[in-house]
Homo-oligomer: A and B are copies of this chain.
Amino acid sequence: MHLRLKKNETAVRMKLTPEVQEAAEGEKRGRKASKETRRQQLIEATIDSLAKRGYSETTLADVADGASLSRGIVNFHFESKEKLLIATLQYMADEYAANWGAALEKAGDKAAAQLWALVACDFDRKICTKRKLAAWCAFWGEAKSRPTYQALCGARDVKYQEIFLALCHTLKDEGGYAYEPEGMTLALCASMEGLWLRLMMGDGLTREKAHAAAVEYLLVAFPRHFTREGPK
């Protein structure tokens, strides 16, 4: 027989990850959680599942368990598994964009400081978590055969890369460098994505070391603008 729970005991049924718990505590608990709160809770549980089991083994049952909710819940709040996954990717893309947008604001108006800030915030502890990198990577793996994912992953850096390109142009003028800006931008952005990939793979690579490698790149590309400690 199913053991019926008194109210506000949902969080005790199974250990939730901190992220899911936090999402669930957005407003009131249990039954009164608003629609939006519940959606976010399920999205966080989806990220957990993607990170733990990979894309192909992520099941709705696992997501529901991760959120300590019942089997049918996802089809109630999202329409289908497909839509849950798209919402999850959208959520991560938004968070990513908001993060570098804010970093750019705070960086002031010097091009060198802006570039430094953009590179740094890719390795920020809020964004650059094992679980989130793993989730990104899971989507990348499926992106090629799914236009929707591809669009969302790609949209991630349409604006992003434009800004990078503009900064590379500015710094080239300021410093009299010889590189070709398009290629430089591409190689730099690719390097950071590659570092994410390696971070995700494990290998004992840490966020700090990855960031240091990216900085090393900045140093050789823009020697007149940066030292290892930051923009001159």
Residues in chain A within 8 A of chain B (CB atoms): 51-57, 134, 137-146, 150, 153-154, 177-180, 182-184, 186-195, 197-198, 200-203, 205, 209-210, 212-217, 219-221, 223
Contact = CB atoms under 8 A, between A and B. Distances in A.
Given A150-B201, A198-B190, A203-B154, A141 B183 contact: no
Q: Which of A144, A191, A210 has the most CB of B within 10 A?
A: A144
Give the oligomeric copy count.
2
Contacts of A55: 55-56, 141-142
Dominant SS among interface residues on chain A: helix
Given A146-B54, A194-B194, A201-B154, A187 B141 contact: no
Given A194-B197, A197-B197, A150 B54 contact: no
A189 B201 CA distance: 14
A136 to B, nearest CB: 10
A140 B212 contact: no
Contacts of A154: 201-203
Contact of A140 (B57, B140, B182, B223): B140
Contact of A141 (B140, B182, B215): B140
B144 A187 contact: no
Contacts of A201: 140, 143-144, 150, 153-154
B142 A217 contact: no
A216 B191 CA distance: 13
A154 B198 CA distance: 9
Contact of A195 (B143, B180, B190): B190
B216 A179 contact: yes
Contacts of A198: 186, 190, 193
A197 B202 contact: no
A222 to B, nearest CB: 9
A183 B213 contact: yes
